């Protein structure tokens, strides 16, 4: 091979490498420029607010449901999730977005119809997309609102607004705007978005803007019913960020208890909150991301209300097969001691519409 050819090949390779470096640098600049965190103590709008007040002694129902941005049919596995089978075989999720827009529409419809059939007085939803690549830009908040109808006041708190994520390369997760949707058949006096502590490393550019939303309903006895819709962190190596988040939530609970208010926290805690590890058939080992919370981890005067009649979350490191995937209870409620839990259960959908099942509770203010 002549020197001229060698030189030409070297120049071509150098040009390709330089172009790739330039593309990466441009992408990093784009990601950094797009990055911003939502402020803490952000007031939330409440649309179509109801007029009736909650009362002491009356029974009410509440449902919480992580709808998984409409992607999680039985064939879906998520690229950020990994685990091991009991024989030691490693498994890793593959998908960055839903397989199709129709799947998103079908799963969202199935999830919201399941929720509507519960006829709850209050609804908490998590992973609700309004404009995201991963869900083909389907506005799930609008779909939920249309389904539940005019009986409910509604409010939305953004907790995920990321730049375009080009990973996984075969199925990019893309750009997302998503959040927590709250619905109430009773009047809410105010809403506030609270910012959870978050990862400060490079992952922060693509991680959820974790938060919880706080709504206050005036009770006829002069106190307030404080309703908190929460979605805590997952994929937190060592659990450091989740511990900080729990400490922040407990501080809020202590303040509300001191004020004598009634408090309910509902949502996806991303912890086993029902001592449910090992309760459900599986061919997988317990995933590393499963941490356990008990009443001892909560502020004094609070306890978990979580059912075990069915799991509320399945592993997404592989497509779903009943009795094969690991499953656990991550979803439910925290209640203050001045609230009586009349009943609580999980609605077993066999994970048809999401990687989560909904949890519901009937309660009474004492």
User: What's the pLDDT at 195?
Assistant: 93
**Chain mean pLDDT for the chain:** 91
pLDDT in tens, 300-354: 999 999 999 999 999 999 999 999 999 999 999 999 999 999 999 999 999 999 9
Alpha-carbon gap, residue 262 to 143, rounded angstroms: 31
Whether residue 1 has pLDDT greater than 70: no
Alpha-carbon gap, residue 30 to 21, rounded angstroms: 14
Whether residue 199 has pLDDT greater than 80: no
Alpha-carbon gap, residue 183 to 216, rounded angstroms: 13
Label each residue of 225-244 as H, E or C. Answer: EEEEEEECCCCCHHHHHHHH
pLDDT in tens, 102-121: 999 999 999 999 999 999 99
3-25 burial string, b = 16+ CB within 10 Å, else e? eeeeeeeeeeeeeeeeeeeeeee
pLDDT band at residue 154 under the 50/70/90 scheme: very high
Indicate the pTM of the whole model: 0.92
Q: Find the Cα–Cα–Cα–Cα dihedral 43, 36, 131, 157, rounded to 10°.
A: -20
Instruction: Retrieve residue 186's tokens.
Output: 């009773």
User: What's the pLDDT at 7?
Assistant: 66
User: What's the pLDDT at 235?
Assistant: 67
pLDDT band at residue 164 under the 50/70/90 scheme: confident
Closest to 326 measured CA to CA, from 357, 290, 355, 284: 284
pLDDT in tens, 204-218: 555 567 899 999 999
Closest to 312 measured CA to CA, from 291, 297, 330: 330
pLDDT in tens, 28-72: 555 555 556 688 899 999 999 999 999 999 999 999 999 999 999
Higher pLDDT, 19 or 176: 176
């Amino acid at each position: 091979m002549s020197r001229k050819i060698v030189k030409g090949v070297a120049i071509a390779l150098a040009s390709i490498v330089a172009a790739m470096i330039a593309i990466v640098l441009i992408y990093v600049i784009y990601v950094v420029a797009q990055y911003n965190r939502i402020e803490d103590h952000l007031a939330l709008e409440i649309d179509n607010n109801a007029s009736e007040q909650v009362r002491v002694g009356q029974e009410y129902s509440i449902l919480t449901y992580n709808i998984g941005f409409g992607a999680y049919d039985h064939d879906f596995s998520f690229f950020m999730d990994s685990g091991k089978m009991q024989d030691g075989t490693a498994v890793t999720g593959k998908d960055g977005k839903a397989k199709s827009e129709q799947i998103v529409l079908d799963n969202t419809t199935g999830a919201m119809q399941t929720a509507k059939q519960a006829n709850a007085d209050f609804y908490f939803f998590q992973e609700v997309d309004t404009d995201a690549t991963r869900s083909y830009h389907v506005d799930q908040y609008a779909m939920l609102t249309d389904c539940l109808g005019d009986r409910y006041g509604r409010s939305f708190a953004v907790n995920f607004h990321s730049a375009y994520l080009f990973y996984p390369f075969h199925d990019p997760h893309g750009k997302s705007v998503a959040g927590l949707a709250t619905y109430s058949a009773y009047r809410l006096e105010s809403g506030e978005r609270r910012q959870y502590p978050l990862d400060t490393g490079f992952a922060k550019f693509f991680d959820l803007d974790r938060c919880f939303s706080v709504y206050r309903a005036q009770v006829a006895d002069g106190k307030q019913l404080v309703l908190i819709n929460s979605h805590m962190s997952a994929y937190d190596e060592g659990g450091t960020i989740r511990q900080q988040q729990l400490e922040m939530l407990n501080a809020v609970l202590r303040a509300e208890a001191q004020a004598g208010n009634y408090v309910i926290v509902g949502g996806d805690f991303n912890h086993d909150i029902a001592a449910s590890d090992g309760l459900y058939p599986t061919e997988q080992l317990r995933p590393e991301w499963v941490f356990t919370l008990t009443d001892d981890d909560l502020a004094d005067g609070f306890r978990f209300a979580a059912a075990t009649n069915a799991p509320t979350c399945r592993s997404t490191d592989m497509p779903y097969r009943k009795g094969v995937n690991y499953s656990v209870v991550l979803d439910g409620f925290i209640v203050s001691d001045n609230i009586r839990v009349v009943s609580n259960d999980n609605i077993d959908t066999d994970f048809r519409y999401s990687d989560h099942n909904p949890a519901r509770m009937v309660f009474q203010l004492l």
